[in-house]
Structure 1
């Protein structure tokens, strides 16, 4: 049994009602619960079929290096795997530079913290 957190945006009322059978809705569109892997996978298929133009993020605990996994539908941020870790790729930032997903040479796609670390690494700490 894994702890699951699900966040939905613009989900149809019928889907929200179905999700409350399995999870506790702690805030509008935010669900938490503890379900088996099989139930989680079946619920994710249900969400994919019924979310329509809405969005959903499902995170769950597992035995990976990060200690969790997640699934995404309808978001502009996409999960990519890089050296055994799942990272979030932001296509809107990469469009400006023309890099491909997961390209480590593109500091734009990794956020402000990465650029700061890169700057310190190149010029030393001051």
Structure 2
């Protein structure tokens, strides 16, 4: 499974995303593609999205905790790692970086 959340995507990238994903809300994409396809989609997004897109990707993983999080650009939440666990933190949250 792969979930992509963005602040803004270029129109060409957004149109391509609709080939693989369901878009339940604007710039929120969810797909159940195989892991090998998901790796290609992640590479495509990281190569073709500008930092202004504020992209966060949640990808299924076979290793604990069962997911990987990747980010690109400035987004409204911070990605933090605590004891090897990736988390998404509100920028004004209680956890310290």
TM-score normalised to the size of structure 2? 0.76
Return the structure number with greater relative CO, CA threshold 8 A, min gap 6: 2
Shift in Å, 1:57: 0.9
8 Å Cα contact 1:72-1:79 kept in structure 2: no
Distance in 2 (alpha carbons) for counterparts of 1:30 and 1:88: 16
Question: Which structure shows the higher helix fraction?
Answer: 1
The verdict on how the C-alpha distance between 1:63 and 1:22 changes in structure 2, with shifts beyond 3 A counting, is same
Aligned residues: 93
- Structure 1, residues 83-105: CA drift from partner, whole Å, max 9, x if none? 33224578x77xxxxxxxxxxxx
Alignment match of 2:35 (pick from 27, 34, 37): 37
Q: Which has the higher mean CA deviation after the structures are superposed, 21-30 or 64-73? A: 64-73
Distance in 1 (alpha carbons) for counterparts of 2:88 and 2:25: 24
Structure 1 runs (4+) deviating above 4 angstroms are none
Say which SS state the counterpart of residue 63 (structure 1) adopts. coil
- Give the alignment's Cα RMSD to 1 decimal: 2.5
Provide the residue aligned with 2:84 in structure 1. Answer: 84
Say which SS state the counterpart of residue 9 (structure 1) adopts. coil
- Runs of at least 5 residues in structure 1 that lack an aligned partner in the other structure: 94-110, 116-126
